[in-house]
Amino acid sequence: MVYQVPAEPAHFVDREREQARARQLVMERRTTDGGTRPLCLLLRGYPGTGKTELAFRLARALHEQHPDGVLYVDLDDVRCDGGVEVADVLGELLRGLKAEWVAPEFRQRARQYWSLTHGKRLVVIVDNARYGTEVEPLLPASGDSLVIVTSHGPLYDLEAGAATEFPLAPLDPDDALRLLELVTEDTRLAAEPEQTRRLLALCSGLPAALHIAGKWLRRHRERPLARLLDRLDTELTEKGIPVVEHVWDAAYESLGPDAALLYRLLARFPAPSFTLAAVDALLGRGLDTAEDALDELRAAGLLDGRDPDGRERLPELLRAHARRRAEAYGDQAERAEALHRLVLWYVRQAQRADLAAAGPRLKTAAEVGPVPGTRDVLFERSVDAPGDSAARAYHWLEAERHALFGCVRIARTSATAGEWGLAEVPALCEPLWTHFLQNPHHGDHIDAFRAGVAAAQQAAEPRTLVRMRCQLARPLWEQGEFEEAEQQLSQAWSTVQAAFGTSPDERRLAASTREFLGMLSSARGNWADAAAQFEASGAVHEEIGNAYGATLQRYRRGEALARLGEWEGAAELLERARAEFAAGGRTRLTGRVELALGGVYARLDRTDEARARYLAALEAARAVNGARDEARVLDALADLAEGTGQEAQAEEHRAAARRVWARLGLG
């Protein structure tokens, strides 16, 4: 009996679900009449995910049900200029079947193969298929046989239902760590968790990369992981994984010009995942061309596939390969043009999302018009896309945050080099402020707003500089950096006094700066000073006819008075602010006022009114996906229930709050 499968590896993890499903399919085939077509399993995923080893593992597990032998062919071994001479593969299979004579022509070899496999119970492994037309002639002429095909991407030309697909993703971090521990038996992995996380991220969940990393660790057991990681990072980034590098090279060489250009450009995409709309902006050749190029990359196994949100991913090791292809075949001018176009597209979409989420507000950056050759994201209500435009805009800002922060870095680097970027950095930072208020990522926002300050200084734009300093101050003080926050606001106020005139916009921005000074006082617990700043800011907004600004200061002053124990005055201001925000359709702010007003009512022993306000705040927070606000409201509801002796209800709210805080990484 022919058995063309190597010995089992020392270590193998995960894929239990795929193995169980394969066994179930084989069992079902044995108990039903499957006809004369063999059962075909398609294992697909980009190189290094362990497709071939899984195919071998399945063959070992199922060979007893297929006692006539296990055959193996690797189509890449006979591939030339992207194509496979199927006759040569048939000849290899016939020799594996101990054919006494191999016919010289394809048709004769095919008939020989059918004759020798008829009625047999074989396993045939076809490795590295690129097209269904390469697989069809290799199928045994027996419904009792099993064919296991591996491919980097989907085989679109294989008929529907001809194969059961098993998409293989990289190993998740837990399984990757387990494999690395088995391969190395290295105590450093547990002793240095941060470096171990770096190592796992570097290997991108690819078993092939994990085995390479394991060899490095075994070879250098006395060296610190940090030092090894730097060398391994350089090795994998510059040279790739020897086992799969030639496969990736061949896949790249099979691409058409548009897909090859996209692959090179994606190496510099400023986020780990991307959408079709962003790819369209990056490529700049129209939506149909972008979609076709993505299809080609998927088919070639050079993408990770769509996640549940419809985003595509280029894992780090593939990204490094794309960078190597860009260095070998790319053009610096095409890359610079693509990145500039992408940044402009993201600026425009972020500004539109800001408007949809927060409504009209004072901005210092000019609006970016439509970017030629690209399409805008739909945030507005429509028949085809019903729902709340603000919620969609907030969701987009959070989903695209990595790209937005990355675009800030790209624009800042360009501005530092004396090219474009001075306008784009603050233009991105302003909508990132709206994002910060809903989904704060302090480290990223601080870095972005610092870049905004630097760009405004370089451009000598006092209004923009004041705005960026104010934006930077808040995440600083929320992280406990009060001295630097005060320094930023002091410099902003000095600029206001030295450079601002009496125009409505300049007075409005000056009033906003006083608001930030008041919020800093609030954060420090100096509520009397905060109330005075908010009152002064509100007075300016009233004078220039900015109703929204005046309402916002009423809300902030109401909170400050509540902290000072002036409950009646606080309730009066907050009730008015609530009505005005609700009339203006500002859901997020209405919800926050509801929360503050609920707290005041609770202190005034107006329990039922407090509960009603908290429930309204909870509804508002959920309407705009405001997780932090939701958690705060749930905590407040728990405190209220506890104070009225409703222990079960209090625990229910407390548990719900814990779940939300945990989701935010703050549990």
Mean pLDDT, range 302-310, rounded to an integer: 67
Give 384's pLDDT tier (boundaries 50, 70, 90). Answer: very low
Q: Which residues contact 327 (CB under 8 A, 6 or more apart)?
A: none
Distances (CA, A) of 657 to 259, 620, 650: 46, 16, 11
312 phi and psi angles, rounded to 5 deg: -100, 155
Residue 665: predicted pLDDT: 63
pLDDT at 223 over 80: no
CATH of the domain at 254: 1.10.10.10
pLDDT tens-digit readout, 615-653: 999 999 988 878 889 999 999 999 998 888 899 998 999
Collapsed DSSP state (helix, strand, coil) of residue 70: strand
475's tokens? 């995440």
Judge whether 137 lies within some domain: yes
CB 477 within 8 A of CB 518: no
**CA 660 – CA 667 distance, rounded (Å):** 8
| 88-102, 443-457, 468-482, range with the lowest pLDDT | 88-102
**CA 108 – CA 24 distance, rounded (Å):** 36
Give 306's pLDDT tier (boundaries 50, 70, 90). Answer: low
Q: Which of 127, 130, 126 is nearest to 253 (CA)?
A: 130
Q: Strand pairing of 123-129 and 273-274?
A: unpaired
Residue 118: predicted pLDDT: 92
Same domain (yes/no): 183, 252: no
Listed residues 141, 167, 193: the one ending a domain:
167
7 phi and psi angles, rounded to 5 deg: -65, 155
Same domain (yes/no): 152, 230: no
Give 561's pLDDT tier (boundaries 50, 70, 90). Answer: very high
Same domain (yes/no): 163, 34: yes
**CA 460 – CA 472 distance, rounded (Å):** 18
Percent of the chain with pLDDT over 90: 52
Judge whether 207 lies within some domain: yes
Provide the domain count of the chain: 4
76's tokens? 């890449």
CATH of the domain at 117: 3.40.50.300
Same domain (yes/no): 275, 302: yes
Residue 100: predicted pLDDT: 82
Collapsed DSSP state (helix, strand, coil) of residue 166: strand
Judge whether 147 lies within some domain: yes
Judge whether 493 lies within some domain: no
Residue 114: predicted pLDDT: 92
Q: DSSP per residue over 135-163, as a string?
A: HGGGS-S-TT-EEEEEESS--TTSPTTSS
Collapsed DSSP state (helix, strand, coil) of residue 420: coil
Residue 450: predicted pLDDT: 96
CATH of the domain at 604: 1.25.40.10
**CA 528 – CA 577 distance, rounded (Å):** 20
Residue 344: predicted pLDDT: 97
* Mean pLDDT, the chain, whole residue set: 88
**CA 182 – CA 185 distance, rounded (Å):** 6
Same domain (yes/no): 110, 259: no
Q: How many CB atoms lie within 10 A of CB 233?
A: 15
Same domain (yes/no): 232, 159: no
Give 541's pLDDT tier (boundaries 50, 70, 90). Answer: very high
Mean pLDDT, range 122-135, rounded to an integer: 90
- Higher local confidence (pLDDT), 154 or 609: 609
Range of the structural domain that residue 73 is part of: 2-167
Mean pLDDT, range 421-436, rounded to an integer: 95
Same domain (yes/no): 36, 185: no
Judge whether 200 lies within some domain: yes
pLDDT tens-digit readout, 77-126: 777 767 788 888 998 899 899 888 888 888 888 998 998 999 999 999 99
Same domain (yes/no): 151, 206: no
132's tokens? 């269904």
pLDDT at 330 over 90: no
For residue 149, the cross-strand partners are: 42, 126
Give 385's pLDDT tier (boundaries 50, 70, 90). Answer: very low
**CA 393 – CA 587 distance, rounded (Å):** 13
pLDDT at 365 over 90: yes
Q: How many CB atoms lie within 10 A of CB 654?
A: 17
Where on the phi/psi map is residue 605: left (φ > 0), alpha (ψ -120 to 50), or beta?
left
Percent of the chain with pLDDT over 70: 95
- Which contiguous run of DSSP H or E holds residue 79? strand 79-80
| 132-146, 298-312, 386-400, 639-653, range with the lowest pLDDT | 298-312
Listed residues 167, 194, 229: the one ending a domain:
167
| 157-171, 250-264, 384-398, range with the lowest pLDDT | 384-398
Listed residues 134, 152, 167: the one ending a domain:
167
Q: Which residues contact 539 (CB under 8 A, 6 or more apart)?
A: none
Where on the phi/psi map is residue 565: left (φ > 0), alpha (ψ -120 to 50), or beta?
left
Residue 378: predicted pLDDT: 84
CB 391 within 8 A of CB 313: no
Judge whether 615 lies within some domain: yes
Give 588's pLDDT tier (boundaries 50, 70, 90). Answer: confident
pLDDT at 376 over 60: yes
Mean pLDDT, range 131-155, rounded to an integer: 89
Rounded (10°) angle between helices 482-499 and 504-523: 160
Residue 382: predicted pLDDT: 45
388's tokens? 């709340």
Same domain (yes/no): 127, 194: no
Judge whether 259 lies within some domain: yes
Same domain (yes/no): 197, 140: no
Collapsed DSSP state (helix, strand, coil) of residue 308: coil
Judge whether 213 lies within some domain: yes
Distances (CA, A) of 599 to 136, 196, 224, 574: 71, 45, 53, 11
Same domain (yes/no): 94, 225: no
pLDDT at 443 over 50: yes
Same domain (yes/no): 204, 222: yes
